[in-house]
Each structure stands twice: as structure tokens, then as C-alpha cells.
Structure 1
Amino acid sequence: MNFDNNLTFARRMDLADPLRGLRQEFLFPQQNNKPFIYLCGNSLGLQPKVAREVLDVQLNNWQNLAVEGWFEGDSPWMFYHKELKKLMAPIVGASVLEVCPMNTLTVNLHLLLVSFYRPTAKRFKIIMEAGAFPSDQYAIESQVRFHGYDPKDAIIEVAPGAGAYTLRTEDIVAAIDNSADEIALVLFGGINYFTGQWFDMEAITRAGHAAGAIVGFDLAHAAGNVPLKLHDWDIDFACWCSYKYQNSGPGGISGIFVHDKHFSDTSLNRFTGWWGYQEEQRFKMEKGFVPEAGADGWQVSCTQVMPMALYHASLQIFEKAGYMDVLRSKSKNLTSYLFYIINEVNKALGSEQFKIITPAAEQDRGAQVSIIARQEGKAIFKELVAQNVLGDWREPNVIRLSPVPLYNSFEDVYTTGVLLLKICKEVLA
């Protein structure tokens, strides 16, 4: 697509956008009586307008039904998670039976590692991306220590080559092949939080399985951002938070995926709890854990009704949008336009003040564009916020900007470029 660096072009793109009406489904933070241009959905998504209404329904159920709310009302809490499962499954490319909303992200990662990290004397290593989100690093370190291994011996990190910011798929595959006899688990993020690189999940899974390893993904930055086919790609397990691209509110409920090929494997370890017990027999209160069918059998504690209600509010908007293929089409155009606008800013400044470290190829990125500020990065970022553009700052010099197709516009991207150029001329003068 050929882009133009002017407001007329941006507004013409917005008028042609079939998703433009969805912007009205969200509440934008304000400053000085003006809404922010919000480019931080990669960290926390905006609040859906319907969130308060959906939450009020459950608060009213609590008020009017009290404990009977578990079994009475239009959507009894005992089965409420099933309404969400139907809406979650298309977002990650899974069957309804393979997904479940529960807990929070790192809790779920630990629970899944109990089942799927099964080290032996020969196979005990985990291969992962260098520079993964710290929570993943800490979780994996603690898991290998729990099994009696030193993280220095048990964790293999794949890092970009000299001078590069992103990983090549062939290097990931080579790293798996080189340690094929020792790897128990391949665990990657679907999208790297820092650079915005979308890894070739299918190729990584294929290589991991060829090496005899289990393959899992942390989809915190991928679920609700890019189209996923977890079942078809034969991924063993995955988990994600829902408060970034899926707009479920701060600390919102997490989701898990377990491939149905594992459902009949009675040798899998689990940390179990009441809510994962067979649903029809749960209230008999009998000894001896019998798991509920599918991903629901990994549940531990009872349904978190209020967090689920907030997630439910956003999931209904995804359904209205037509799910990920429709959103992805707009997302690619938005990020391509942001690439173009940042390069236009550099041209106007006469130098590469901003280096884009997110992959240029559309298939290798999601909705996030990360830029290194060569000079005065923090001052520029702070001034952007002062002028109602809210992105995300990462030390030491990276600004992350994430135009989300559900609620961002081409005019948002254009205006950000105008302000970025103006601020640079003032700060760098």
C-alpha cells in the first residue's frame, strides 16, 4: 500500500475502515479534557464501555441470589466459564474443550509446567528466548531448581546475533537441533514483549517435536493480537493473560490451552484442586481426584466470577468484530503506516533519530512497533505523554507504540507522527 503523510489520507483510511465503529465501544483516558491517543494496548487494553454493565449483572446476582448464584439465575456461576470458552477458542485457534479461563498468567504457567516439564536424567533442559519477559525467566528458573537442577545447566537461551535485535527462525531451529538429545521442553513467548517480534510458532513446534521435546508458549503479547492456530500447529500447551490486547482489566483473568492429544494421558502430573474435579460428581465431595474433561481439568480453584465478567465484556466485542483475521488485516495496515510515519519523522529531522527494532516483515510482527531513541528518549517520551499520546517506555531507550485495531485509527498514527516531529525539534534543538 502507498501511504501519504497527511491528515486527509489518514481520515480517508479511517472512513474506509469496516471496524471504525468499534472505537466507540471503549473508554479512553483523558488529560486536560482531551482523550489520549492510546498506544499502550500491548501493556493494558482500554476498558470496554459494556464492562460496567456486565460487572453490574454479576454484582446484582450476588446481591439478590447470594450463594444460590452458583446454581440460579440466567448464567449460574458454576457454569459461567463455559460462556467464555466459546468466545475464547476462536481467538487462539482451538476447540472449546481445549481452553479454559482461570487464575493469572504465571500461576497458569507453573501449573502447566507441572504437567509438561518432565525432566529425566538425559532430557532435562529447557530452551527459550533470551530476553523473555522476566516473569517467564523467574518461573522457569524456579521450576528447574524444584527438580534439582541448576538453571545455568538446565536453561538454554537463544539470543540474536551480534548487532541484531530479533531472532532468526533458522537460528532457533538450529539451537533446538544442536541440543535435541537433552531438551525436555521448548518454551517461547509467542511475541517478544520488547521488540514485538512474532516468532514462527509452527516452525518452532515442528522442530521441538522432531527433537522429542514438548512445546509450549506464553501468549501474553500474542493472544488477541495475531491469528493463532494452536490446535492445528500441534502446540502442546499455552497460557496467556487477557488484560493486554483482550481488554479484561488490570490483572485480569488468564487463559490456558491444552492440546486434546494430551487429554487421555493419565501419566501427566497435576497440581489439582476441587474445581478441576469431574463436574457432575464435584459436589459428592469424594476422595480421589478425577479430572473434568479437557482443559477444565487443570482448574484448581472455583470460578473467578468478577474477573470473568470483565473478560466476557471484551470477548463479545471480538465476536462482533469477526475475530482475528478481520482484525489482523487492519492491524497490518496500522503498523505499516506507523513504520512509514516514523521514517518520515527521521527524514524531516535529517537523521535516524528513531531506529525501529520491530521486524519490518508483516508476518513477523503484531500490533506493536518498538523504536530506539538515539537521543533524549525519556524526555521525548515524557513530552509525548504531556501532549496526550500514551505509549510505553522501556529502559534504557525504547519507546513501544501499539496501534490496536479494535480502537486505534490511522488518524491516531498520523497525529502521533506530527507530535513526535514537533517534540524532537524542540527537545533536540
Structure 2
Amino acid sequence: MRDAVALLLLPLPLVVAALPAAFAGGGTRRWFGGRGESQRADAQAAKDAAAAAFYELDTAQRDLRISIETITAVDSSPGARRAVEEFAALGRRIDEVSHAYITAVDAHDLDRDDLDPSVAVRARTELTGAKDELVRVKGELDRFARSLGPLLETAETQLARLAPAVERARQALLAASNGLDAVRASGMRADDLAARLAALAPELTRLNEGAGRHGVPETLQRADRVVREAEAIRAEAERLPERAAEIDKRLVSLRTRAQALTTRAEGVEPVLSELRRRFTAACWQDLQPVPAEANENVRRAEEKLKEAAKARDEQRWPDATALLGTVRALLNSTDEAVSAAGDRLRRLDAVAEDPEQEIQRTRFAIRDAQRLAMAGRNTPDPHHARPLDDSVARLDRAIAGLEGRHPDYWHFLTELEAVRQAVARVVEQIRSERGATA
């Protein structure tokens, strides 16, 4: 039976070629003439047709199994799982009709000399029925294969991306390694970049193990990650000389700025002395800590500059960059505090000489807001009118506060600034509400 099955699994031309005796004369076979031999020929033709149908079904099943394996290698969606289940069900049906076909072939020896015509008729009937079942299941298989079109197209697209993606990852790693070697040859250690590149070695190993072990989607994602990280390492390696030069430049610039701020901070005390001599305590007492804080900030900045210089010499680039950021923040804060003392004196001098300018500036802002609140209305909205009325009252109180022997000019300035901010909020509210209803 195994030999019979093996013969039937041969390609159709080979099956036909393997049976020359079925149609040749001579030999030991006893020939029946007329109707008996015609029935034998019909049975043999049915057997050949069934063999062809069996071969076509087996070939289609093998091809479809490759398609299913392609889909499952890429897709784990519910649709892909259903396709696998449907293919398994079809496989069981194919096994049934294949078994029926092989049973029909084994049941009848059409080469027997004493083949009875009735046996030949029965063989033809059974083989024809087996062939029809094979053809019917082949039709089901073909329809199922056509339904797999979208899933298979998506899977093949991803598989087509696989080899180029893995190759891009390998090339990106090679470029990163070469870039790192070049910059280290120039005398830079780049230890952090070397560590990051070494961390990608396991990823390359997994890529080399292939999608068969790790899956196509995971392999594509891994390849993309490797490319991104390797390209980042290469770019940073190429930029290291520029980064070192930039840090050197910032070190020099910040040292110069720290020295200049030390000189400027020395001028704060005379400014405070002038403020104390000419204005009330409320105008300057918040500036009292400025000289000491400025000196402390400059001292800390200089310490951080030394640490940054050491980090740069040791090529700890992230540490050097972070320390320089700290220095800059300290100097910015000191610069603002030192400048505040001088600005305070100038503003107080100006308002003491002529407060009317600040008053008119604030009145103009209030009147402009009032005109906007009344635009297109007979009476203003209370939500707008009330804060504007309060602003007028605050302005009047601030002006009244200038009367007396030692007016608090700083309170006057800050109060008028607060009034203008309150008025600006009302204007913004009016415009927002009218814009929403436009």
C-alpha cells in the first residue's frame, strides 16, 4: 500500500509514465475483448483522473500551508488565528477525502488478468466518486486561499521589509562603531558612547537569530530601535570635538562673567547707601541682602566652574554641561539682583521728580478699558465695571499716599503697576467674551 501511495504522489506525468503496461499489448495478461476491455479502460481512466485530482489537491494544500505559515509568522490578530483554525479544519477534510481515494485505489487491481467486468464498473464508480470529492474539496481550498488575500499581502509586505530593516540595523551599528573609533583615535575617550554601543550587542545577536525565533513584528521593531540608537551614537561621536570646543568656550565666557559680576556687586552697597539716605525703608529694605547674596552666588559659581573644568578634562561631557548650566543659573540670578538695586534707584529718582508721568500712564489704561467696556452698550457689564471702578479708587489712594513729608514712592510704583495689570485682565476678559459671541 505504501508503494501504491508513493506512486500516486508522483507528479502526474510520472504517474502516467509509470503505468505503461496498462495500455500495452502482449505479456501474460489475458485480454477480454469488446465491452469488458472497454470497462477496464474506463476504470483506468477514472483512476488516472482521481490521481490527477489527488495530486492537484496535495499541491494546493502544500502551497496554502506556506501562505498560512507566512501569515502566522507576522500576524497574531484574531483574523490570522481564525485563518489558522479554518486551515486546520480544511486539513482534516482533506485527510478524509484523501483516505477515501487511497482506499478506493487499494480496493481494485485493474491490472488483474481475470478482472471481472462488474468489478471494473464498481472501481470506475468508486474512483470517480473519490475524484469528485477531491475536486470539491480542492474548490473549498481555492476559495479559502482567495479569502486570505489581504492577510497574505500584509504579511508579505512585512516580510519584504524584514531583510532590509535588519541590514540597515547592521550598517547603522557599523557606522556607529567606525565613528566612535575615529573620535577615540583623536584622543577622546567617549566612554559613555562606548557603553551605549556595547549595550546594543545583545540586540544585534537577537537580530542575527532571525525572525523565526523572535517573530517578524518584534524583529522589525528591534531593527528600528537599533537603527535609531546607533545613529544617535554616531551623531554624538561626530559632534564630540565640537562639543568639547563649545564647553571650552563656555568655561571662558562664564569665568569672565563671574569676574565682571564680582566688580558689579561691589557697586551695590553705594547704591543702597543712596537709597537709605533719600528714601523710606520700605523703598529699599528688600534689597539689603543683595550684596551678601551676590558674593555668595559668585563664590558658588566659581566653585562649580572648577568642577566643570575638571569634568571637561576627564571628558565627562554630560557632567560638564550640567555644571555649566548651574553656573549660568547662579550668575543670571546674581545679575538680576545686582541690576535690581540700580534699577530701583533710577525708578525712584524718576517718580520722586515727576510722579505725574506714572499717574497719566495708569489713567490712560483705565480710560481705554472703560471705553472698551461701554462700546455698543448703554451701561457697562457689572463684571467689567466693578474691577474698573476699584482700579480708579486704588489709583486715587496711591496718589493720596504721596502726600506727606516722606512718601513711599516704591509702594506708589508697585501699586500703579498692580492697577495696570488688573485693568489689562479686564480688557482681556472683554475681548475674550466678545470673540466667543462673534
Using structure 2 for the length normalisation, give the TM-score. 0.23
Q: Which has the higher helix share?
A: 2
Q: Which has the higher strand share?
A: 1
Larger radius of gyration: 2
